[in-house]
Amino acid sequence: MSFTLARRTQRMNSSAIREILKVTERPGVLSMAGGLPAPESFPIEAIRLAGDQVLSTQGAAALQYATTEGLPPLREWIARRLSRDGWQVDASQVLITTGSQQGLDLIGKVMLDEGSPVLLEQPTYLGALQAFSPYEPLFRPWAADAEGPLPQAMSGAEPARLAYLVPNYQNPSGHCIGDARRRELAELAIRSRTPIVEDNPYGELWFDTPPPPPLAARAPEQVIYLGSFSKVLAPGLRVGYIVTPRGDHADVQALRAKLLQAKQASDLHTPALNQRIVMQLLDMGFDLDGHLDTVRARYRAQRDAMAAALGRHLPQGCTWHLPQGGMFFWVSCPEHIDTSQRLPRAVEAGVAYVPGASFYAGMAAGQGRSLRLSFVTLSPMQIDEAVARLASCLA
């Protein structure tokens, strides 16, 4: 045998999270590593009924090849749902993807050349690093202050091919960018003609007040928006979407056409069955907003339990912010601690987390002392025990 691999594979690495998820399958390990929603939050019975309906009444269509763009009524539902806060979305802008992870891959495929500068928050979503890396861009750290990424970073000498951010309850930092900063970012994106990729898996998971309007509402012709049903219904369905920029300028039309062609080359279309189950669920009068209220209440209680546990157990010198939504705490440890090095010991002690270094694309030195904790998988009692175990490993 003899296989020559493409050069781009040198930029591809196994996810630390993935390897950790394997380890945490060991019985007895309390994992705060993966961002796995609590299965108790899935509307299983409603999905079962919807699936039954779909296969009883539209089985032939649900099991057949389908159009690459996605199911028209689902695209329309998404456009309607997103049309608020002054943002007007048309169904023609919506491309259904196999989870929003695929959206990131497709964007990388059609927008990134070798060496293309990409602005990235620090830390940033690991899955975006994995999706973009094979296209060999140049990752450029996005300078930030306490409010979030700095708008002026977009007006540098060499313009970024794209600027990627997760404005709501970011993974991993938990940070939510405020309205004023969003306005500035949107404005400068337009002025500097920087395409923004706004990834919003967590926007519905707010605890007290909804987050400010998306950047896409302020710069609808300059923002490529990503959404997903993974966090609001269930990730195992793998139904996400890209909202391409508004308008019919040649640039936008070309982007839309190439994303569609890339989607077709990648998997022809997102499973028709899954799209129709989501649509049927919504058509059956499933109370999505009521369901989200329940999920928010659950996650909020878990967040509170973790905040209490962190305060109770973590050694001095550890710091964190209270996330106002989403799924994660981002903990900074004292400088002498290397959270990657300590992970095996932690797993030995029956607890798992994701070391902060995973979220930096090798851009930032000295990031070894942070770690990400998910609060949505374990119960409040388990969270207390897990944080206690973590504390003993950090002490």
Stretch 151-210 residues interacting with a copy of itself (CB under 8 A) = 161, 193, 195
For a copy of itself, the closer CB: 107 or 176: 107
Q: Which stretch binds a copy of itself (CB under 8 A): 78-86, 229-237, 289-297, 301-309?
A: 229-237
Does residue 333 interact with a copy of itself by CB under 8 A? no
For a copy of itself, the closer CB: 156 or 311: 156
| Least distance in angstroms from the C-beta of 278 to a copy of itself | 11
Token pair belonging to 232: 């609001």
Does residue 26 interact with a copy of itself by CB under 8 A? no
| Least distance in angstroms from the C-beta of 363 to a copy of itself | 18
Could you give the CA distance from residue 337 to residue 331 in angstroms, rounded to a whole number? 12
Chain centroid to CA 179: how far? 20
| Least distance in angstroms from the C-beta of 209 to a copy of itself | 28
Does residue 375 interact with a copy of itself by CB under 8 A? no
For a copy of itself, the closer CB: 269 or 342: 269
**Interface with a copy of itself (CB under 8 A), residue from 30, 33, 66, 226:** 66
Listed residue (215, 210, 206, 212) closest to 165, CA to CA: 215
Token pair belonging to 270: 């997102």
| Least distance in angstroms from the C-beta of 90 to a copy of itself | 15
For a copy of itself, the closer CB: 191 or 345: 191
**198 close to 225: Cβ distance less than 8 angstroms:** yes
How many residues belong to the site for a copy of itself (CB under 8 A)?
Answer: 92
Cis? peptide before 214, omega within 30° of 0: no
Chain centroid to CA 384: how far? 26
Q: Which stretch binds a copy of itself (CB under 8 A): 93-101, 314-322, 331-339, 347-355?
A: 93-101
| Least distance in angstroms from the C-beta of 157 to a copy of itself | 16
Stretch 249-268 residues interacting with a copy of itself (CB under 8 A) = 249, 251-252, 254-255, 257-258, 260-262, 264-268
Could you give the CA distance from residue 364 to residue 123 in angstroms, rounded to a whole number? 9
Does residue 64 interact with a copy of itself by CB under 8 A? yes
Does residue 77 interact with a copy of itself by CB under 8 A? no
Token pair belonging to 144: 């930030």
| Least distance in angstroms from the C-beta of 225 to a copy of itself | 14
Q: Count of residues for the chain?
A: 395
For a copy of itself, the closer CB: 66 or 393: 66
For a copy of itself, the closer CB: 8 or 345: 8
Q: Which stretch binds a copy of itself (CB under 8 A): 63-71, 84-92, 143-151, 172-180?
A: 63-71
Does residue 15 interact with a copy of itself by CB under 8 A? yes
In sequence order, the 6+-apart residues with CB closer than 8 A to the CB of 252 are 221, 244, 245, 246
CB atoms within 10 A of CB 307: 18
Number of helices and strands (H, E) in the chain? 13, 14
**Interface with a copy of itself (CB under 8 A), residue from 95, 119, 234, 331:** 234
Q: Provide the H-helix boundaries in the chain.
A: 16-23, 44-57, 59-62, 72-82, 99-111, 126-132, 179-192, 215-218, 250-267, 272-283, 288-313, 339-348, 380-394
Token pair belonging to 263: 């989607």
Name the DSSP class of 41. G
Q: Residue 349 burial (CB < 10 Å; 0-12/13-18/19+)?
A: middle
**Interface with a copy of itself (CB under 8 A), residue from 95, 163, 176, 273:** 273
Does residue 352 interact with a copy of itself by CB under 8 A? no
| Least distance in angstroms from the C-beta of 17 to a copy of itself | 10
Angle at 298 between CA 296 and CA 301, to 5 degrees: 105
**Interface with a copy of itself (CB under 8 A), residue from 16, 23, 63, 288:** 63
Q: Which amino acid does the sequence have at 45?
A: E
First-to-last alpha carbon distance for the chain, in angstroms, is 50
Stretch 36-55 residues interacting with a copy of itself (CB under 8 A) = 36-37, 39-40, 42, 44-45, 47-48, 51-52, 55
x/- string (CB under 8 A) for a copy of itself, residues 123-152? ----x--xx-xxx-----------------
**123 close to 360: Cβ distance less than 8 angstroms:** yes
